[in-house]
Every structure is written in structure tokens, then in C-alpha cells.
Amino acid sequence: MAIEDASHKIIADLLESRTGQTLSESRRWRISTALSGLFREFGIQNVDQLACMLERPGEHQLATRVVEAMLNNETYFFRDHAYFATLANTVLPELQRKRADSKRISIWSAGCSTGQEVLSLAMTLAEQPGRWQDWKIDILGTDVSGKAIAQARTGTYSQFEIQRGISVAQMLNFFTETKQGWKVADKVLDMTRFEQQNILDFPPMPGRFDLVLCRNVLLYFDPDTRRRAFDRLASATASDGMLMLGAGETVVGQTDKFEPASCGSAMYSPKTVSGVSSILSSTTSKVA
């Protein structure tokens, strides 16, 4: 194996060990591009030098910086508008019917990046004040990237970020321009909370979420890791809850915990066995 190939493998293995994401040999070309900022900051000449530095004792902080730089945090407000239309017009009204007695809805956005998906959900609910009056809404966003979560908690975005998916009306209604950028309104931010967490860890609230979104995350996992991720998602989803995946993702042939739902191509329901949700039994045993 050439030195450069070995160096690429060291970084790919680091990414996988910290996040579960695999970086195939055909995609390792992006390593130098993704780490170009770190190269300049630390005066690193090439990936081989970086790999040598990572092999030294006590370089935990550098390793963390490398992983953060390698993560794909691409996101924007109301990404895939058709999906949010499905949520607003079909999924959320159905959840409102199911939770009419408790008037509580819990939502988990797994792999939320810098928070735009979570805030898009909150804005969707805020645009229907009559429907959700007196309801307790809790939208949790988690991501493996500490840097992304730190920004999400501020609720502040640049002009470029705010223009991606936000209409002028939504910008005026839900954001205020500040010296730091565009700050989301408290009425939106108050519905949300953010935590740094790996989707492969134990879920934040097993069996309790009415709606789970995990879009464009599973694409980066190998089949075995993807099955582990589905197990985590399943143990966090209420027996009558819903899961939304990204356009290029499916549960078919990937897991026995979910099955396609009738309300949209990206929506999935907990799979039942003899009338009992398979998720109920999975939450009573230790997750592998």
C-alpha cells in the first residue's frame, strides 16, 4: 500500500470510528479538499503529514477537528419542499388526531446538522397557531458534530443560509436581522432543543417520539451499520409513530423494524407482527 493510500485509510478509519460513516476508496479523493482549511491553519503540507500527526499521543483535539471537517453538514431550510408539504398536510394532522387527549407531540430530527430542518418543522407548526394552541411541542435535533450543534443552538444564520428555502414572508415573520446574522424568533426557537449525539448511540428518549426524521444520514453507512442505526431509530419511535427518510433512502431490504406508510414515499411506520409493533419488543431488550 502506498504511503498516501495508508494515510487516507488512517483518516477514513478515524471518521468511521467516531461517527460510523464509511469513506470508500472511490470517495477518499475528497479528504484533501475537506481538510484544506486545517492544512492552512496548521501549516500541513499534505495528508501524509497529517496522518503522522494523528498517530502521535495526545492529538485528540486535532482528531476531533479532522472529523468535524470531514462531516457533510449540507442542509438548508425546508429542504425538499414536497416532504414538508406531506408533513404539514398529512402527517402532523394525523398526529394531532392521535394525540388529541394529551396535546403533546415529540419530534426527533436525527442528523440535524446546523438546525435548519428542526427550525423548518417549528415554523411549519408556528404557521398554524389555531391548530396547535395549548399544545406542548418538543422538537429535538441531534448531530454528531459539536460545531454544527453549537450553531443550531444560537438560531442565527448568515444571509446566504437564510435565503436557502426561506420565503420573504417567513423571513420577516420568523427572523430578525442582528450584527451576528439573522436570528430566529423565540416563538420558533422555544419549541426546539439541540444535543450532540451519534445516531448509533442509545436514542435520547426510547419509544417516545411521535415523529422521527433521519434524512440523508443513512447513505453514509455500510449495510451492517445501517441496520444498527435503524434499530436505534426503531427503539426511539412510538408504536404508532412515523419515520421520515431522505429521497435516496428506504427501509425495504434494510430492516424489519419499519414498513412503508401510505401517506408519502418517504414515510415509514413501525412494522407490526401479529398486531403488535415490533418496536415494542425491541425496547424491552438491550440494543446491540
Q: What is the DSSP string of 89-134?
A: IIIHHHHHHHTTTT-EEEEEEET-TTTHHHHHHHHHHHT-HHHHTT
Read off the CATH number of the domain in which 271 is found. 3.40.50.150
Please tell me whether residues 155 and 261 are part of one structural domain.
yes
> Is the domain of 38 the same as that of 148?
no
What pLDDT is attached to residue 3? 54
Which one-letter amino acid corresponds to residue 210?
A: D
Point out the domain boundary residue: 17, 46, 70.
70
User: What pLDDT, on the 0 to 100 scale, is given for residue 210?
Assistant: 97
Residue 76 lies inside a defined structural domain of this protein? no
Residue 268 within any structural domain of the chain: yes
Question: How many domains are there within the chain?
Answer: 2
Say if residues 209 and 108 touch (Cβ distance below 8 Å): yes
pTM (predicted TM-score) = 0.88
Looking at the structure, do residues 107 and 225 belong to the same domain, yes or no? yes
Domain hosting 156: range is 81-282
111 and 216 both lie in a single domain? yes
Residue 230 forms part of a structural domain: yes
Q: What is residue 136's predicted lDDT score, i.e. its pLDDT?
A: 96
pLDDT in tens for each of the 288 residues of the chain? Answer: 455 688 888 999 999 999 999 987 767 778 888 999 999 998 999 899 999 999 888 888 999 999 999 998 889 999 999 999 999 999 999 999 999 999 999 999 999 999 999 999 999 999 999 999 999 999 999 999 999 999 999 999 999 999 999 999 999 999 999 999 999 999 999 999 999 999 999 888 888 999 999 999 999 999 999 999 999 999 999 999 999 999 889 999 999 999 999 887 899 999 875 444 544 444 434 433
Residues 42 and 85 in one domain: no
Give the integer Cα–Cα distance in Å for 21 and 221: 5
